[in-house]
Amino acid sequence: MGKIIAVANQKGGVGKTTTAVNLAASLAATKRKVLLIDLDPQGNATMGSGVDKYEIENTCYELLVEEKPFEEVVVKETTGHYHLIAGNADVTAAEIKLMEVYSREHRLKNALAPVVNNYDFIIIDCPPSLNMMTVNAMTAADSVLVPMQCEYYALEGLTALMDTVSKLVSVVNGNLHIEGILRTMYDPRNRLANDVSEQLKRHFGDKVYRTVIPRNVRLAEAPSFGTPVMYYDKSSTGAKAYLALAGELLRKQEQNKK
């Protein structure tokens, strides 16, 4: 059965979309069948997958609001070799439309139900806010992966996100849990980054991934070429870090099955 992971953080600029795109590509490179869903109206995960958000006809709007069949909405050709449900500015319209709909927080879960077993992993790139799209993602997801920078304000944002997850567990998804916390844009020369990293490990233990995503020029450049970093420069530290993250995630999954 496919595992659904929401990549979420209510704080913007933490490497959330970078993580969603590059983790999806790294998992696909291990011969897993992967679907990436772009629920962010900025459509950055769509563009980073080599799909033009301005030209695409069907997005998550058609899937969630118009309830078009999954096969009509999914994009099967991407630069990351995974399938994609695209996102663009229409996602904002979907947010408004869903406000009028009964059982609106279950729209994504219901749309994925017929196809979830066709994939090993479904990665959802959430918007950087707690809105109806994020609630849909967390209702559908098995777990939440939290990318965060090791800085003071990020800890406050993490506390708010944990509070949100615990509320959603009690209301819409009793199985939802934290998949892991990923340290992004990490600079080991920065004393504050090291202090925050130690605090995270003390507080969350093995929920903090051993893999750390460094600050990396190639990682920052890859989206402008519409490709995940491993296909832009596979020898870069960013590409190696996301492959390591995929490996760590797969090992954890195997251990949990035992």
Give the Cα separation of 242 and 7 in Å (integer): 14
Q: Which fold has domain 3-257?
A: Rossmann fold (3.40.50)
- Percent of the chain clearing pLDDT 90 (strictly above): 69
pLDDT at position 159 is: 82
Contact between residue 62 and residue 30 where contact means Cβ atoms under 8 Å apart: no
Contact between residue 139 and residue 172 where contact means Cβ atoms under 8 Å apart: yes
Answer whether residue 155 shows pLDDT above 90: no
pLDDT at position 182 is: 95
pLDDT tens digits for range 89-111? 999 999 889 888 888 999 999 99
What one-letter code names the amino acid at 133? M
Q: How many residues does the chain have?
A: 258
Answer whether residue 52 shows pLDDT above 90: yes
Q: What tokens appear for 19 in the block?
A: 């993580």
Q: Would you kindly state where each structural domain of the chain is located, as residue ranges?
A: 3-257
The half-sphere exposure of 107 on its side-chain side, counting CA atoms within 13 A, is 26
Question: With bands split at pLDDT 50, 70 and 90, how would you rate the model's confidence at 123?
Answer: very high
pLDDT at position 160 is: 81
Least confidently predicted of 24-38, 154-168, 177-191, 231-245: 154-168
Between 132-140 and 90-98, two packed helices, what is the crossing angle to 10 degrees?
80
